[in-house]
Amino acid sequence: MDIPELSPADARACLTHGALLIDVREAHERATGMAEGALGIASGDLQAEPATHLPAADREIVLICQSGRRSMQAAVFLAGLGYTRIASVHGGTTAWGAAGLPLVQPLQSDAERDFNERYSRHLLLPQVGIEGQKRLLASRVLVLGAGGLGAPASFYLAAAGVGHLRIADDDVVERSNLHRQIIHTDASVGQPKVLSARARLLALNPGLDVEAVQARVTSHNIDALLEGVDVVLDGSDNFPLRYLLNDACIQHRIPLVYGAVERFSGQVSVFDAGRQRGVAPCYRCLFPEPPPAEFAPNCAQAGVLGVLPGMVGLLQATEVLKLLLGIGEPLVGRLLSFDALGMQFRQTRLAPDPACPLCAPGRAFPGYIDYAAFCSA
């Protein structure tokens, strides 16, 4: 059966003569406007249960989508089921609007409208969609540090709709931070970083729960900080804290998204040994002991190109979203390094250490140690 393709004007004429006009786009797509008089039924729902949504098989039915492709596919499917008076609108809602025909906004609550508009580009991705976006909104992430790495990472996690962000940092904003810690402004100088960050994140996405923890992270409060968290993003700048985070994440079986920068280079990886013992390495497998201080200066000692933490922070945020959504291949067992001056990326495979004191299979958690003394030794 050849499916007729109607112009928007002809489709509207059919509607005035009793035809049923059905918009087969998803609800978030219809939120931007749909043809006046159309009934919204997503193509998947329509094809799954046509008898529930459609009248008799000889009723005149006109389908419309955004461009005409999905409506034609749905029309072919329905014709195969015996619907004899089925048509598709050529050019879809785009052509309908271009022809000057009226578009209407479907009835939505304020929360539904915000969800559909704010995350519209995520909702178009099959790997995310409505269910994935709801999963992000229900997720909890600990961002350790509101500085060079935590600033860009938390900005994009908030924009992506990660529902609960817990940000821990005991520092205050200094003017020397501003060339790389983009979440803060000149007016924030002297304020606690977590409060400055919280204000900017809620200005970006007011519906989130942003928890500001103004405290130095130690072995005494790390367990409380990890409570209920799905993923940890490491934005620290010192080795004692990195070892503490590693050990705590293994103990609590939480994936740790690691990042580090120095001058013109950066590193990113995902350590998930707590959930994948003997398969995935931990931070200690990569660094069994910290390097001497002269070989690992921090940004205040060595300097850093301002965009470098942004590049690493965005890569970290990407890994967090992949872990929360369960998509792609996270950087587990891989260390991604890049040199900004040469704009070269390199990937190194990491294997778990069978003798690792923290993540080796069957190894009991030894408890937290004096990490500052361990690193200074």
Instruction: Give how far the C-alpha of residue 107 lies from the chain's centroid of Cα atoms, to the nearest Å.
Output: 28
Is 299 considered catalytic here? Answer: yes
> What is the arithmetic mean of pLDDT over 51-60?
88
> What is the arithmetic mean of pLDDT over 177-188?
94
> What is the arithmetic mean of pLDDT over 306-317?
96
Using pLDDT thresholds of 50, 70 and 90, give the confidence band for residue 294: low
What tokens does 52 get?
């529930």
pLDDT of residue 300: 61
Please name every residue paired with 377 in a beta bridge, in sequence order, or none if there are none.
none
Task: Out of 127-136, 285-294, 326-335, pick the least confident.
Answer: 285-294
Q: State the DSSP code for 295.
A: G
Q: Which overall architecture, per CATH, does domain 122-376 show?
A: 3-Layer(aba) Sandwich (3.40)
pLDDT at 63 over 70: yes
> What is the arithmetic mean of pLDDT over 130-142?
96
* Domain 5-110 falls under CATH 3.30.70.20: no
> What is the arithmetic mean of pLDDT over 34-55?
92
Cα 372 from Cα 57, distance rounded (Å): 76
> What is the arithmetic mean of pLDDT over 153-160?
98
pLDDT tens digits, one per residue of 227-247: 999 999 999 989 999 999 999
> What is the arithmetic mean of pLDDT over 266-281?
96
pLDDT at 1 over 60: yes
Among 299, 356, 359, 375, which one carries the catalytic annotation? 299
Using pLDDT thresholds of 50, 70 and 90, give the confidence band for residue 299: low
SS3 assignment, position 40? strand
pLDDT at 293 over 70: no
pLDDT at 116 over 70: yes
> What is the arithmetic mean of pLDDT over 188-215?
97
Strands of 209-213's sheet, edge to edge? Answer: 209-213, 164-168, 140-144, 231-234, 256-262, 265-271, 334-339, 344-349
Q: Are 211 and 168 in contact (CB under 8 A)?
A: no
What amino acid is encoded at 110 in this protein? D
pLDDT at 297 over 70: no
pLDDT at 110 over 90: no
What amino acid is encoded at 219 in this protein? S
pLDDT of residue 27: 87
pLDDT of residue 11: 95
The reported pTM is 0.84
pLDDT of residue 57: 85
Q: Considering the chain, what is the average pLDDT of its residues? A: 93
pLDDT at 28 over 90: no
How do the domains of the chain map onto residue ranges?
Answer: 5-110, 122-376
pLDDT at 29 over 60: yes
Q: State the DSSP code for 55.
A: -
Using pLDDT thresholds of 50, 70 and 90, give the confidence band for residue 267: very high
